[in-house]
Amino acid sequence: MRRSKRLVLLSKFLSDNPNRIFTLKFFGEKYDAAKSSISEDLNIIKDAFYEGGEGVLETIPCAAGGVRFRIKRPQKEIENFLSELCSVLSDRSRIIPGGYLYMTDIIFSPEYSSRIGEIFAQIFVEEEPSCVLTVETKGIPLALMTAKALGVPLVVARRDSRVTEGPSVNISYVSGSSQRIQNMALPTRALSKNARVLIVDDFMKGGGTARGMMELVRQFGAEVVGVAVLVTTALPAEKLVKNYISLMVLEKIDAELGQINLKPVKFPANEEGI
Amino acid sequence: MRRSKRLVLLSKFLSDNPNRIFTLKFFGEKYDAAKSSISEDLNIIKDAFYEGGEGVLETIPCAAGGVRFRIKRPQKEIENFLSELCSVLSDRSRIIPGGYLYMTDIIFSPEYSSRIGEIFAQIFVEEEPSCVLTVETKGIPLALMTAKALGVPLVVARRDSRVTEGPSVNISYVSGSSQRIQNMALPTRALSKNARVLIVDDFMKGGGTARGMMELVRQFGAEVVGVAVLVTTALPAEKLVKNYISLMVLEKIDAELGQINLKPVKFPANEEGI
């Protein structure tokens, strides 16, 4: 196979499998080429991904020699994307009677959810999450795309336990915004004790749901390594969860005037300055 | 930018944006290159994607000249993948008390769900779906990945209507397997009248849920162009939905003997021979 074709297929493969380690031997066999040729290919790809703002192709010191592609977009590009997203979401036609903001189409869009998931992954990759956790329903697309970008499994808590999923751990928690008691269940086989869990959700008001997920993780004896949310409301300022990252803050919806005040969070930013 | 770097970035871009048309002018500006150079790049990528079994880079006749990457994996590769999937799912530890099969980890895995979504997309791309529809919860990852591979939006019906999503169309239907009356709701703004809808779900027994989704689409005056399901049960042989494609058939679970009889469907196969 000629170099140009190998470059095409290698680029696609690495892009499809972010954050996973592959050896030069593996690629040599896959593309029927000498390790030295593969090594040269990877250097070209490394420069191209870096210059193109796609990410970093890291060399991993291991017996056989390996590489790992990590998505890393320039800060400016992420800021532009979040500004664009705020502008799309601030269209007055998105105001739902009752003063809610219609975000479902954006959250379920493969295009937006994959970009948001890549941003979450980029922020938390150094924490080395071993899985992503969310609770049904609207958090699933963002959480799945985050898991994909991290190369780890997704785990989804349900609102109630299902006979089709076997024994489960169930918790009750008070929703921060509605003050209602809610349930959350996760099959016992879904999470292992030594898991490093990144919690992802679409929206946070009081933080009760996120705290419920943290409690659920604790019941399994596993560890929460981060909480990532797409949109938080400005009020209440005190959330039930202390350390989280959100990409946008919803300050106000004025249904009368048809005004939505939604702002991107300066990236990267959380209380720990990550 | 040198050719080799352009090849890397172009390959990644096309791979990230399947089934969407881009003009040579767009790429020329993006990578600061002459249209003739981009055209040569695309020819190399076309050959590489084809030889590597990734898919087809089609030339689209339009004013400015355009290309579209469509995922198209060799039949043999898909058959191997489905055999492997059946083997993973047939592990006796997956039998849940009550005679159910635990598939949640596979369905929620970014790796499996994206491969399954790409297969669904490959089967139905010629029907030109304008969106993918599923119902919460377990169908979402497969449906999202199908939508991503098709380059179209995802629409998710809920079990009940939500105040946060505005006015909705609600239907009741009888679940084919449990014979219980269930509800399904979709915000009125989620689906347009001229939509061409591909229905995706993880599991079908009686077909009641799929028929419910078809009824929901009909209420919007839109058209169903296909129904894609990961696993169907062999019994009942008569489903409430006539034309569907499933990738695997669950013939039997014997909880006593710890046996699971799950088989890949010969691909591609449905009643219309698609």
Q: A94-127: string of b/e by CB count within 10 Å (b at 16+)?
A: bbbeeebbbbbbbbbbbbbbbbbbbbbbbbbbee
**pLDDT tens-place string over residues B113-168:** 999 999 999 999 999 999 999 999 999 999 999 999 999 999 999 998 888 899 99
Q: Give this complex's ipTM.
A: 0.95
Q: Looking at residue A266, what is its pLDDT?
A: 83
* Residue pair A134/A204 in contact by the 8 Å Cβ criterion: no
pLDDT tens for each residue of chain A, 274 residues long: 799 999 999 999 999 999 999 999 999 999 999 999 999 999 999 999 999 999 999 999 877 679 999 999 999 999 999 999 999 999 999 999 888 999 999 999 999 999 999 999 999 999 999 999 999 999 999 999 999 999 999 999 999 888 889 999 999 998 866 778 999 999 999 999 999 999 999 999 999 999 999 999 999 999 999 999 999 999 999 999 999 999 999 999 999 999 999 999 986 544 443 3
Q: How far is A233 from chain B (nearest CA, A)?
A: 14
Q: Which chain A residue has the Cα nearest residue B133?
A: A108
> What element of type H or E holds B29?
helix B24-30
Q: Looking at residue A177, what is its pLDDT?
A: 67
Nearest CA to A50 out of A26, A72, A24, A23 is that of A72
Query: What are the start-end ranges of the H helices in chain A?
Result: 3-16, 24-30, 35-51, 75-89, 104-108, 110-124, 140-150, 208-219
**pLDDT tens-place string over residues A87-128:** 999 999 999 988 899 999 999 999 999 999 999 999 999 999
Residue-by-residue DSSP string for A174-235: E-TTT--EEEEEEEGGGS-TT-EEEEEEEEESSSHHHHHHHHHHHHTT-EEEEEEEEEEESS
Angle formed by the axes of helices A110-124 and B140-150, to 10°?
110
* Residue pair B24/B66 in contact by the 8 Å Cβ criterion: yes
> CB contacts < 8 Å between A and B, how many?
171
Which of A45, A110, A140 is the closest to B147 by Cβ? A110
Task: Collect all residues of chain A within an 8 Å Cβ-Cβ radius of residue B233.
Answer: none
Task: Collect all residues of chain B within an 8 Å Cβ-Cβ radius of residue A104.
Answer: 156, 165, 187, 190
Contacts of A104 (CB under 8 A, 6+ apart): A138, B156, B165, B187, B190
SS3 for B203? strand
Query: Which residue is associated with the tokens 């061409």?
Result: B196
Go through the domains of chain B in sequence order and give each one's CATH number.
3-71 (1.10.10.10), 75-264 (3.40.50.2020)
Which of A7, A155, A158 is the closest to B4 by Cβ? A7
Q: Is B159 left (phi over 0), alpha (psi -120 to 50) or beta?
A: alpha
Tell me whether residues A108 and B156 touch, CB distance under 8 A.
yes
* Residue pair B252/B225 in contact by the 8 Å Cβ criterion: no
Cα-only R_g, chain B: 21
Q: Looking at residue A141, what is its pLDDT?
A: 98
Q: Looking at residue A143, what is its pLDDT?
A: 98
pLDDT tens for each residue of chain B, 274 residues long: 799 999 999 999 999 999 999 999 999 999 999 999 999 999 999 999 999 999 999 999 877 679 999 999 999 999 999 999 999 999 999 999 888 999 999 999 999 999 999 999 999 999 999 999 999 999 999 999 999 999 999 999 999 888 889 999 999 998 866 778 999 999 999 999 999 999 999 999 999 999 999 999 999 999 999 999 999 999 999 999 999 999 999 999 999 999 999 999 986 544 443 3
Q: Which chain B residue has the Cα nearest residue A113?
A: B144
Structure tokens at A22: 């592959």
Q: How far is A77 from chain B (nearest CA, A)?
A: 15
Pairing status of strand B245-254 against strand B223-233? parallel
- Give B238: exposed, middle or buried? Use CB within 10 Å, 0-12, 13-18, 19+: exposed
